[in-house]
Structure 1
């Protein structure tokens, strides 16, 4: 008797126990990143890139302070276990019926007692499993200076006295967003969370009209992924970041409004 590699040899009466299909985790949340997420962002960056390709903590901190609205994080949220009694206890007394109220409403239809949730967030933990990190940039394509950090003042602003400093790092007046990092934690890959995160990012940048163009560099194996989400391959990049060959890609933001917008 023989069997294909990876398949068990079965005797009479035995059946293969199928592994349950992988599913997206519950309670996913996409929100802008802040500098308070720095530790998780740095850890995720370290897990997703080689030493030569990952952004330093200093660069990540700069980007999350200079333009947090241009970075998105994909989180799995965990909530406190709030039982019915705890919910009722936290509900304002105005929403609770007294015995007299109930007696007076005997002739009325009873739709059930409305109880408000606790007057605070019940989120107890957010675990970062994916992120997109971006800045606005002086150049039309990713360059070494677009990925850099300008000389900063004590107020964490670009020092205007330094020549060429106005072309390095985040340029607020620019209409071009450069994406410097897209990563999904290895435990959650294969669930199409990367495309979910990037599509959400592009939609938000488009709706907010903060830029007209989004650019990035990617290795050849990832070009099809980006082409499937509306990026155009502009060929081999002049940027030799980490001594590697990259492709320039861009996506035009159209700012088209939905017909059903209010």
Structure 2
């Protein structure tokens, strides 16, 4: 199998940062430090779609891509897309969900007023990022289908919530999200929309 999905961890920081900055405009991409925070405090909510080294990428993503463990992957495999999330106590994603405390490294187990809430009931999906050369070929949808299935089977949360641009509302609705209208979020000065599954 040329493609597989696995949980990300801090060892994937550099390549996740590359995918994120390639997929989003600078003001909207998560910073390297935000990605580091999320891959450190809640890696179980972060997954990547990989292409095995030396394998040719299919022109379109297959319907089902297996989730494997890290020991069945290689460090030289190519990350082509990722989903990075945290837990939230809010139903729709709010600005405080996207933030993190500047003191987070001093106590990795602490719960701060912003960022990841381990006892939350909502998966706040911060980033579905696909490397530009793999966009519009179904790779993001394939990753999201596998992510939804995995999180539902685990009973990880009551819902998955996301903010998106108005132009991407139809895309996320096609994945099973329900549109709840314009968001109160003002992150990066963009007009966001709330969606939940």
Could you tell me the TM-score, scaled by structure 1's length? 0.65
Alpha-carbon distance in 2 for matches of 1:228, 1:56: 28
Number of equivalences: 181
Give 1:185's match in structure 2, choosing from 131, 134, 144. Answer: 131
Give 2:97's match in structure 1, choosing from 126, 146, 149. Answer: 146
Could you tell me the TM-score, scaled by structure 2's length? 0.86
Alpha-carbon distance in 2 for matches of 1:79, 1:129: 14
Which ranges of structure 1 fall in alignment gaps of 5 or more residues? Answer: 1-25, 81-119, 160-164, 252-262
Give 1:133's match in structure 2, choosing from 55, 75, 84. Answer: 84
| Distance apart, 1:156 and its partner CA | 2.3
Relative contact order (C-alpha < 8 Å, sep 6+): which is higher? 2
Query: What's the Cα RMSD here?
Result: 1.9
Which ranges of structure 2 fall in alignment gaps of 5 or more residues? Answer: 56-70
Residues 105-116 of structure 1: pairs in structure 2 closer than 5 A? none
Alpha-carbon distance in 2 for matches of 1:238, 1:189: 28
| Distance apart, 1:147 and its partner CA | 0.6
Q: Could you tell me which residue of structure 1 aligns to residue 158 of structure 2?
A: 212
- Structure showing the higher helix proportion among its residues: 2
Alpha-carbon distance in 2 for matches of 1:66, 1:124: 21
Alpha-carbon distance in 2 for matches of 1:121, 1:148: 33
Alpha-carbon distance in 1 for matches of 2:132, 2:75: 23
SS in 2 for 1:78: coil
Relative to structure 1, the CA distance from residue 153 to residue 226 in structure 2 (aligned partners, 3 Å threshold; closer, same or farther) is: closer
Task: Give every structure 1 segment of 4 or more consecutive aligned residues whose post-TM-superposition deviation is greater than 4 Å.
Answer: 120-124
Q: Could you tell me which residue of structure 2 aligns to residue 46 of structure 1?
A: 21
Alpha-carbon distance in 1 for matches of 2:155, 2:77: 29
Q: Deviations over 1:149-183 (max 9, x none)?
A: 12326232326xxxxx3x31111111110000011
Relative to structure 1, the CA distance from residue 79 to residue 47 in structure 2 (aligned partners, 3 Å threshold; closer, same or farther) is: closer
Task: Please state if 1:158 is matched with 2:119.
Answer: no
Relative to structure 1, the CA distance from residue 79 to residue 238 in structure 2 (aligned partners, 3 Å threshold; closer, same or farther) is: same
